[in-house]
Structure 1
Amino acid sequence: MMTLSPDPRIDAAIDSSLDRIVLRAQRLGPGFGALGEALARAARGGKRFRPALVAASFTAFDGDPATTPGLYPVAAAFELLHAAFVVHDDVIDHDVERRGVPNIAGEFRDRARLQGADASGAAVLGDAAAILAGDLLLHEALGLVAFADVDPVAREQLQALVDEAVYVSAAGELADVENAVAAEQASREDILDAAFNKTAVYSFQAPLQAGAVLAGANDEARGVLAGAGGRLGLAFQLVDDLIGAFGSAEQAGRETGGDLRESKRTPLVALARDSDSWPRVNEALAVAHTGPIAVREAQVALLESGAPVRLRGLIADTLDEVRTVSREPALPAAAGALLRDLAEGVEGRMP
């Protein structure tokens, strides 16, 4: 995603965890063994920028990998945490594919049908398998931090970071679903809070802080980093909202306009609701699920409302805050440069 370099040592730590899950699962019967293999397929590959953030922050605070063997398992934990949330998010969204191929729920629906299950039974098995897979990934991520080779003080701080990330992300996901199903439209502030909680803490704030903890950064520096990480994460999610409405199929990993088809109440939609064009936007969104022409009509209505321009402005302001914080004297020069580089990378994702 950004200018973060891949690290084979992080990849090795992730692969080691996935291999361990597969081996243990295979010992517990063919069905559970198949779940382990499906889980490993779902978690392998990808950009892996969250563990790369841990390592980049560690380096920016002058950490020495030779004296910190726990760096790579801790970094790997954030990738498994992400994989767990993705698997559970697919269940919540009733998705059976990811980037054009069956996800865990989809694989196990196919497995159920091969065993003679009807459509209802296949859906039950698919959802159950995905929920359990996400649970296993969460369990493995927490174990990596709990048993990492770090000093006791650092371990306690790392566990607190992961603990907070799990709680805040779960709260954000629930709020997002509540906002989607409620009869009354949530306020723009509530929608922004849900967007922040879903992504910002576990994707940016916690990984950046984890690297700083491992490198021995002081409390003041970690506090500054936490604020900047939160703003980066919010901007990242807001860019995702633009991608979900206007991005290409390649960018979004699914058909263009997927958020519009699903009538998601994103910050983009909240901004449109504050415009004089809202009645037309609302009508267009109500039928966007019917096909590509309706999606295009919803996109045009949103553009004419001015909401995308206002959202781009919010993203720019948020990233400018990151750039300002990056100059704080509490941060080493390398850490400030990392934050500016990340801000540029988030900005570059905008469709």
Structure 2
Amino acid sequence: MTGVLTDFAGTGVHEAVQDRLDAFFTDRISLATAYGDNYRLLWEAARSASQGGKMFRPALVVGVYRDFGGTDDDSALRIATAFELLHTAFLLHDDVIDRDLVRRGVPNLAGSFAADASARGATDAAAQTWGQASAILAGDLLIQAAQGFLARLSAPSAVRDALLDLFDRSIFVTAAGELADVAFSAGVRLPSLVDVMAMTEQKTASYSFEAPLKAGAILAGVDADVLTILGEFGRLVGVAFQLRDDQLGVFGDEKVTGKSVLNDLRNRKETPLIAHARSTPRWAQIEEALYDLETFDADGSTVRAALEECGARTFVDALIDDHVSRAESLLDNSHLPSVLVGHLRDVARHAVVRAA
């Protein structure tokens, strides 16, 4: 997908956003030094957490803005940087919620802080608390910083307010999706497929696709009907993207994704894979294996085979195809600039053809 995003946003966006992130973290690390080594180390770890990503949200912001004829690259890149900070914050929080200690193939912030505490003699419980608290605080700080990037944007007040409102709603909706995800996994509520699909939309599509696309358009000064089209396109592609992510979380290659293919199963994540499987005759076997992963199905192979055999993986493939098809049909009936339509088609197709 990297090549598609480069074609969309143009060369140099990844580097320009990274430069802004580096400047931001350098400033924060310098300021944090006055408050002790722990705080400085927290900011250094937050900077590390922001590195190595695909930066497709920044590319969506800048690509849409430029395709509508925008020329104020500094403002577009500032908004793009805000979305990357928000994404990093959500990853930090998500890892705590999912009890993941690895991200992108290396220890994440919670994992590295917990390991350091253990090396210093802390108990396992204390080390875990230290790691989780550090990641939560870092995520909170980055959300605040992302909002600050938008609040200080050099743009007309109406544009700045619209962007802040968009950002605020994106955070609000994403939190609703995350809460539902935890509730379903914890067994607080047994969800239907409709519930799981709504959670998928809220948790990922809002901040990863819908909001970045609309942000670039808002900065470009487009009409409300265009924002509606871009929002619906982003919702459809965002759901398809997360559906593929769910598949990779079970059937992916850990060496490529950098994440365990067992964590979603261990945490009993309620994804459309599981929601569909529950409606099939194989569910009793799948449920039994899920509850005995550590002893009965240590590598998850039994669950994966059963999910294949009951048609869950094929079912999700069909959902992905349907969402991408509907997104492309939406473009067929739009009056968006032809260059933007071409770029969005590429994004829709490549968002789901990936191994990581």
Q: TM-score range with shorter-chain normalisation?
A: over 0.9
- Contact 1:22-1:40 at 8 Å conserved across structures: no
Aligned pair 1:237/2:238, yes or no?
A: no
Aligned CA distance change for structure 1 residues 257 and 126 (closer, same or farther; 3 Å): closer
Spell out the pairing of 1:179-258 with structure 2 (5 A cutoff).
179-182=184-187, 185-258=190-263
Picking from 26, 33, 36, the partner of 1:29 is 36
Verify the 8 A CA contact 1:43 1:80 in the aligned structure 2.
yes
Aligned-residue offset at 1:60: 1.8
Please report how far the alpha carbon of residue 210 of structure 1 lies from its aligned counterpart in structure 2 after TM superposition: 0.5
Which runs of structure 2 are paired with 1:300-315 in the superposition (5 Å)?
Answer: 300-315=305-320
2:62 touches 2:76 (CA, 8 Å); kept in 1? yes
How has the CA–CA distance of structure 1 residues 290 and 142 changed in structure 2, closer, same or farther, with 3 Å as cutoff? farther
**Which residue identity is paired with 2:47?**
A
Counterpart of 1:342, as a letter, is: V
1:326 and 1:254, CA in 2 relative to 1: closer, same or farther beyond 3 A? same
Q: Alpha carbon RMSD of aligned pairs, Å?
A: 1.8
Q: Tell me what 2:9 maps to.
A: none
**Code of the aligned partner of 1:43:** S
Q: Which deviates the most, 287-296 or 117-126?
A: 287-296
Correspondence list, 1:220-299, <5 A: 220-290=225-295, 294-299=299-304
Letter of the structure 1 residue corresponding to residue 139 of structure 2: G
Q: Which residue, 74, 85, 92 being the options, matches 1:80?
A: 85
Residues 210 and 233 in structure 2, CA contact (< 8 A), matched pair in contact too: yes
Aligned residue for 2:335, secondary structure, equals coil
Structure 1 position 140 matched with structure 2 position 141: no
Question: What is the CA distance between 1:339 and its match in structure 2?
Answer: 1.7
* Mean CA deviation greater in 15-24 or 238-247: 15-24
The Cα shift of 1:184 comes to 5.2
Contact 2:214-2:231 within 8 A present in 1 as well: yes
SS of 2:130's partner is helix
SS of the equivalent of 1:334 reads helix
Question: Which secondary structure state, in structure 1, belongs to the residue aligned with residue 334 of structure 2?
Answer: coil
- The answer for unaligned runs of 5 or more in structure 1 is none
Are residues 14 and 277 of structure 1, via their aligned partners in 2, closer, same or farther at CA, if it must alter by over 3 Å? same
Q: CA deviation at 1:37?
A: 0.7
8 Å CA contact 1:168, 1:201 repeated in 2: yes
Q: Which residue of 2 aligns with 1:107?
A: 112
8 A Cα contact 2:266 2:293, kept in partner: yes
Matched residue of 2:215: which SS? helix
Q: Supply the AA of the counterpart residue of 1:272.
A: A
Q: CA deviation at 1:292?
A: 6.2
Q: Pick from 49, 53, 57: which aligns with 1:46?
A: 53
Could you give the per-residue CA deviations for residues 261-304 of structure 1, whole angstroms, max 9, x where no partner exists?
33211111101112222222222222234476551111110111
Pairwise CA distance, 1:109: 1.6
Compared with structure 1, are the counterparts of its residues 82 and 290 closer, same or farther at alpha carbon in structure 2 (3 Å cutoff)? farther
Which stretch has the larger CA shift, 169-178 or 340-349?
A: 340-349
Higher deviation after alignment, 142-151 or 183-192: 183-192
94-103 or 287-296, which deviates more = 287-296
Matched-pair contact (CA < 8 Å) for 2:273–2:316: yes
Show the counterpart of 1:159.
164
Matched residue type, 1:157: A
CA–CA separation in structure 2 for the residues paired with 1:243 and 1:69: 36
Give the structure-2-normalised TM-score: 0.93
Amino acid at match of 1:75: A
CA contact (8 A) 1:243 1:251 kept: no
Q: Does residue 60 in structure 1 map to residue 67 in structure 2?
A: yes
TM-score, length basis structure 1 = 0.94
> 1:4 maps to what in 2?
5
- Structure 1 stretch 181-190 or stretch 85-94: which is displaced more? 181-190
Q: Aligned to 1:326, what secondary structure does the other structure show?
A: helix
Deviations along 1:9-33, one digit per CA (max 9) or x if unpaired, are: 2222222222222222222111101
SS at match of 2:62: helix
Distance 1:257 1:124, change over 3 A: closer
Change (3 A) 1:291 1:278: closer
Aligned residues: 349
Q: Cα deviations across residues 147-190 of structure 1 (Å, max 9, x unaligned)?
A: 01112111011101110111111110010000011265211111
- Tell me if the contact between 1:172 and 1:197 (Cα under 8 Å) persists in the aligned partners: yes
Of residues 283-292 and 136-145 in structure 1, the stretch that sits farther from structure 2 once superposed is 283-292
Identity of aligned residues (%): 39
Moved more, 129-138 or 182-191: 182-191
Which residue in the other structure is 2:333 paired with? 328
Unaligned runs of 5+ in 2: 7-11
1:17 is aligned to 24
- Separation in 2, partners of 1:133, 1:34: 11
More displaced, 172-181 or 341-350? 341-350
Q: 2:98 touches 2:267 (CA, 8 Å); kept in 1?
A: no
Contact kept in structure 1, 2:100 and 2:263, CA below 8 Å: no
Worse-superposed segment, 130-139 or 321-330 = 321-330
Would you say 1:123 and 2:128 are equivalent positions?
A: yes
